[in-house]
Chain A
Amino acid sequence: MSANGKLLDVQHVTVEFHIGGLVGGTLLTAVNDISFSLESDKPEILTLAGESGSGKTTLSRLLLRDLEPTKGKVLFEGRDVSTIRKRSEFIEFMKKVQPVFQNPFDTFSPLRRVEAYLFDTVKNFGMASNRRDAAQVVDDALHDVGLSLDEVRQRYPHELSGGQIQRVAVARALISKPKLILADEPVSMVDASLRMEIVNLFRELRDKQKVSVIYITHDLATAYYISDRIGIMLRGYVVELGPVEDVLERPAHPYTQLLKESVPEPAPKKRESWAKHIDLGTTEVKEYGRIGCKFAGRCPKVMDICHKADPPDVRVGQQTVKCYLYSGPVEKDAAEVST
């Protein structure tokens, strides 16, 4: 257990990518000074939401140690993950942090039986010493997701439904008894009638297995449904972070307000507000290269200062908001400003 009681501690990480040729080219800051942490004794589901190109996937690669930050540190159980060099240490780290990917049909080779992946994982992590024990470990993991080894034995990916195969993918991640699961858009490729099955599964993992989940998505409705906290990402920044009820019911950042307003509600009567016209940015590169707040070009409440420098992180109620609107001498209430 770590000294400070934190499972994961992300400290001011920045990732820069060089775009263009050897000479010239531009720097693209995909993740910009992001900090957040997860407690080790309190399992929770943290959602990272944002549009494509907001840095969600770069951040998840950082957390999986697939990428090293340009600046800042990622501490897992108190240890800086970039100091992991030995293979044995890396295996220990991978045992505790496991990914679940977007499209389960891409995760599994169509020419291999799905159980082979489960047995491989047992072997790679040395979770069992013989075949019979391995079968037991695999069966237990499948039971945790509501399946059993008998149901998936001898099956190829195409013989399972989208919901089932995504559950197998989660079971594979559970084999090493992880403390943290990183789920990158786990339901976007799953059919509507099966989506809730996967979403409910993550809830269950948190409550019964005490696994923390970082849920990466652009679907705010399912994010609201399952998560405890949510971070809204925009062009590399986390612009708002806080309990999901606060952030999505009383959004403070103008971008979060726009996002929330744009989620179509399944109620034809409420069409009017959704149909209100919005302005979309033309190109992605323009917003990334912007000095100051990245949202300034589209923000309805833009001020001069927004174009000059990065906004500070301000505490508004339960939320942390990156916006000048709240940085004044008097701390204003979120509701007061949005009206």
Chain B
Amino acid sequence: MTLLSVQNLRAYYQTQAYGISRTVRAVDGISFDLLPNEVYGVAGESSCGKTTLIKVISGNAKPPLKVLEGSVNYTFGERTVDMLRISQSELRRNVRWKQISYVMQGSMSVLNPVRKVIKTFQDIVDTHEHIKNKNEFLERTRTHINRLGLPAEVLNAYPHQLSGGMRQRVAIALATVFQPALIIADEPTTALDVVVQRGVLQMIRDIQAMSSNTVLLVTHDMAVHANVADRVMIMYAGRIAEEAPTESIFNAPLHPYTQHLINSLPVIGEKSTKASLKGSPPNLADPPSGCRFHPRCPFVMDECRTVVPDLVSVKERHRVACHLVKEDSL
């Protein structure tokens, strides 16, 4: 049973201006499954294709972003949804917010600054469900807010009266009004401080545990994944470098990129010099040949420069794309 199955997805940005065509290969052959009742982490640096991947799987691919091949299939209980073929009206009426919701990075830009929070709730509920009785709506919203452990007075506050962490939690509350099967959280805590970050992530975990749905958590912060995710996917330059349960990825990372990401994290209590990776992330309009990590890899071999490594399963649920690791060699 899978909630979402993505097969060999390729989505490129294709632009044509003044006779110059340009292709940015943001998502280039990605396959993965999301299971019900899990927190799935996606890590990778900026411009590695994380946001493009989210756009495609949430049905927001608009030109110049174009899906060239692959499939994105959801299974919501009895119903199956092909995200690449669904009509916009169907998507809006039955899928978006009811089955898939989205928590964005800047919570301050999500909430309308001149309307009270309760009005924003009303807008969302009105769009998807018609509740004639105002008391019923209020009752439902209060119960929902209560269940998430937020004080009831936030409903009558304007966004500027709330702290950044509270605003972000209100945004999460908005995203979970209909108890969707999948919550996509794109860098939900990046601009927040450690204490607030902890509170917000705890809330996401609580919601997940309460309604047994799936959370797709995108952040570049590996320490967050270590504490929240059940499984982690590491993306590099539009491809999957490694995917494994959190424990395995932190205890025995196999891809050199993952190893670097984990080893370079500063830890309180340890002052030894941490090396940084040479070079910089590749330009996706002109990615390197072979393994896309090879210009920065400390273990580069001749094979890496020409042959693209396949994503192979090495252990239970552990997949890695590197020529150093052969299938079932461990």
Any chain B CB within 8 A of the CB of A195?
yes
Q: How far is the CA of A4 from the CA of B76 in the complex (A)?
A: 72
Any chain B CB within 8 A of the CB of A259?
yes
Contacts of A225 in B (CB 8 A): 266, 271, 274
> Known interface pairs A161-B281, A266-B223, A275-B202. Does A280 touch B267 (Cβ–Cβ under 8 Å)?
no
Contacts of A53 in B (CB 8 A): 163
Q: Indicate which residue in B164, B227, B257, B276 contacts A274 across the interface (CB closer than 8 Å).
A: B227
Contact B227 A193 (CB under 8 A): no
Contact A278 B250 (CB under 8 A): no
Instruction: Tell me the interface secondary structure of chain B in the complex.
Output: helix
Which of A53, A161, A193, A285 has the most CB atoms of chain B within a 10 A radius of its CB? A193
Any chain B CB within 8 A of the CB of A323?
no
Any chain B CB within 8 A of the CB of A260?
yes
Contact B163 A274 (CB under 8 A): no
Q: How far is the CA of A96 from the CA of B256 in the complex (A)?
A: 42
Any chain A CB within 8 A of the CB of B260?
yes
Contacts of A192 in B (CB 8 A): 45, 220-222, 261, 264
Any chain B CB within 8 A of the CB of A52?
yes
Closest to A287 in B: B163
Contacts of B221 in A (CB 8 A): 192, 264
Closest to A277 in B: B202
Contact B276 A264 (CB under 8 A): no
Q: How far is the CA of A258 from the CA of B194 in the complex (A)?
A: 9
Interface residues on A, range: 35 or more
Q: How far is the CA of A275 from the CA of B268 in the complex (A)?
A: 18
Nearest-Cβ distance from residue A102 to partner chain B, whole angstroms: 11
* Complex interface residues of chain A between 15 and 35 (CB less than 8 A to chain B): none
Any chain B CB within 8 A of the CB of A92?
no
> Known interface pairs A193-B260, A268-B227. Does A278 touch B199 (Cβ–Cβ under 8 Å)?
yes
Any chain B CB within 8 A of the CB of A156?
no
Contacts of B224 in A (CB 8 A): 264
* Complex interface residues of chain A between 238 and 266 (CB less than 8 A to chain B): 248-249, 258-260, 262-266
Contact A267 B226 (CB under 8 A): yes
Any chain B CB within 8 A of the CB of A338?
no
Contacts of B260 in A (CB 8 A): 193
Q: How far is the CA of A83 from the CA of B197 in the complex (A)?
A: 42
Contacts of B266 in A (CB 8 A): 196, 199, 221-222, 224-225
Per-position 1/0 for B253-279, Cβ under 8 A of A:
000010011101111110101111100
Any chain B CB within 8 A of the CB of A284?
yes
Nearest-Cβ distance from residue B201 to partner chain A, whole angstroms: 8
Contacts of A199 in B (CB 8 A): 266
Q: Indicate which residue in B45, B246, B280 contacts A164 across the interface (CB closer than 8 Å).
A: B280
Contact A264 B151 (CB under 8 A): no
Q: Indicate which residue in B197, B264, B268 contacts A196 across the interface (CB closer than 8 Å).
A: B264
Any chain B CB within 8 A of the CB of A197?
yes
Nearest-Cβ distance from residue B155 to partner chain A, whole angstroms: 13
* Complex interface residues of chain B between 274 and 328 (CB less than 8 A to chain A): 274-277, 280-281, 296
Contact B196 A280 (CB under 8 A): yes
Any chain A CB within 8 A of the CB of B46?
yes
Nearest-Cβ distance from residue A29 to partner chain B, whole angstroms: 18
Nearest-Cβ distance from residue B277 to partner chain A, whole angstroms: 4
Q: How far is the CA of A266 from the CA of B250 in the complex (A)?
A: 8
4 nearest A-B residue pairs (beta carbon): A161-B280, A51-B193, A197-B276, A196-B276
Q: A224-B271, A225-B274 are in contact. List 11 more A-B contacts (CB 8 A).
A: A53-B163, A162-B46, A192-B220, A192-B264, A194-B276, A196-B275, A218-B194, A220-B268, A260-B268, A271-B226, A271-B227
Q: Pull 9 A–B residue pairs with CB atoms less than 8 Å apart, ordered by A.
A: A161-B280, A191-B45, A193-B257, A193-B296, A194-B276, A197-B276, A220-B194, A259-B195, A262-B195
